[in-house]
């Protein structure tokens, strides 16, 4: 997007804070984004630059807002195929493959979901003035399944609010070692960063970490394994993996929290984000999206069924 200049006239019966007025007349931008524009000297009232979001506007005031060109982030667009489950002008729901990191970071500068999204989606408006998709939530590298990408600030903010208020339902399928103590259940165990291993999380005593809850139910049983459906009520890092290990049923292939040598030959952990229920911006009711188990996981189940 090239630089744009947008002008408004304050109505005869309108007054109040500048940022609140701009939210009303520019609903495509979040209040925080508009406040940033004000701080960056990009808003004028009656031809005078205003730098305070709380500036009071009055009837008849002439307001001018400069929308700068979206800044390139230095992230490289890469032509990596994506399986798109749903897409509109505001967001995309992608079925992420196992092995793909979500966002570039140390050790993973390329080949990520963000790199692929930059090439795939031509209508990205940018996040916070930068040309990039908004990561609403994350999946571990080896976890496959549904993940949501926002194309603009307003959608990112709206979806993050749903996640914060626990209005989103995420359902995972996992193959675990052994058999849970009950066919269905709820695990409540606080999670914090492992003090001995920077990249790991750990179950800790209540009050020493963040509260975490996971519901599970059995889908299918085998002689030494159980296929379960897991519903994380909270959204802590590595939550399902930790909680299943906590009840002595670690996820098959999870070499961090489970067996170093998996009981089944597998190149990843058996965890898949299978179902997502979310209310799309502009919709009045939630919608459910699904992604079937990848072939390599289905083949493992088929081999277990034949034993």
Catalytic (active-site) positions: 140
99's tokens: 């092995």
Alpha-helix runs per DSSP H in the chain: 18-25, 31-39, 113-120, 153-164, 239-246, 295-305
Count of Cβ atoms closer than 10 Å to residue 267 Cβ: 10
Q: Quick one: DSSP state of residue 83?
A: E
Q: What are the residues whose beta carbons fall under 8 Å from the beta carbon of 136, sequence distance 6 or more?
A: 91, 147, 148, 149, 150, 156, 159, 160, 163
Integer Cα distance of 278 and 167 in angstroms: 7
| Beta bridge partners of residue 203, listed in sequence order | 191
CB 175 within 8 A of CB 250: no
Integer Cα distance of 18 and 58 in angstroms: 9
Radius of gyration, alpha carbons of the chain: 23
Integer Cα distance of 162 and 277 in angstroms: 11
Dump the DSSP string for 94-155.
EEEPTT--SS-BTTBSSSSHHHHHHHH-TT--BBTTBSS-EE-S---TT-EEEEEEESBHHH
| Longest pairwise C-alpha distance within the chain | 79
* DSSP H/E element including 49: strand 48-49
Integer Cα distance of 302 and 294 in angstroms: 12
């Amino acid at each position: 997007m090239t630089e744009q200049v947008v002008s408004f006239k304050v109505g005869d019966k309108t007054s109040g804070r500048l940022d609140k007025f701009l939210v009303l007349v520019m609903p495509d931008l979040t209040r925080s984004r508009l406040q940033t524009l004000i701080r960056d000297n990009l808003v004028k009232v009656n031809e005078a630059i205003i730098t305070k979001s709380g500036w009071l506007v009055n009837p008849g005031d002439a307001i001018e807002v400069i929308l700068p060109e979206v800044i390139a982030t230095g992230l490289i667009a890469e032509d990596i195929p994506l399986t798109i489950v749903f897409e509109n002008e505001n967001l995309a729901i992608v079925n992420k493959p196992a092995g793909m990191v979500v966002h570039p970071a140390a050790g993973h500068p390329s080949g990520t979901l963000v790199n692929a999204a930059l090439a795939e989606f031509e209508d990205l408006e940018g996040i916070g003035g930068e040309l990039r998709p908004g990561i609403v939530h994350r999946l571990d590298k080896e976890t496959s399944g549904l993940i949501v990408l926002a194309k603009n600030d307003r959608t990112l903010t709206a979806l993050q609010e749903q996640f914060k208020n626990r209005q989103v339902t995420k359902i995972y399928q996992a193959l675990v070692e052994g058999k849970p103590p009950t066919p269905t259940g709820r695990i409540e165990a606080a999670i914090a960063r492992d003090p001995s291993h920077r990249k790991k999380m750990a179950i800790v005593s209540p009050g020493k970490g963040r509260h975490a809850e996971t519901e599970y139910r059995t889908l299918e049983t085998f002689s030494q394994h159980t296929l379960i459906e897991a519903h994380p009520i909270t959204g802590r890092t590595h939550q399902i993996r930790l909680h299943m290990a906590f009840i002595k049923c670690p996820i098959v292939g999870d070499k961090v929290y489970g067996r170093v040598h998996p009981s089944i030959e597998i190149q990843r952990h058996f965890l898949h984000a299978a179902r997502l229920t979310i209310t799309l911006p502009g919709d009045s009711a939630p919608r459910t999206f699904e992604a079937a188990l990848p072939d390599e996981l289905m083949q493992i189940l088929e081999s277990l069924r034949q034993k």
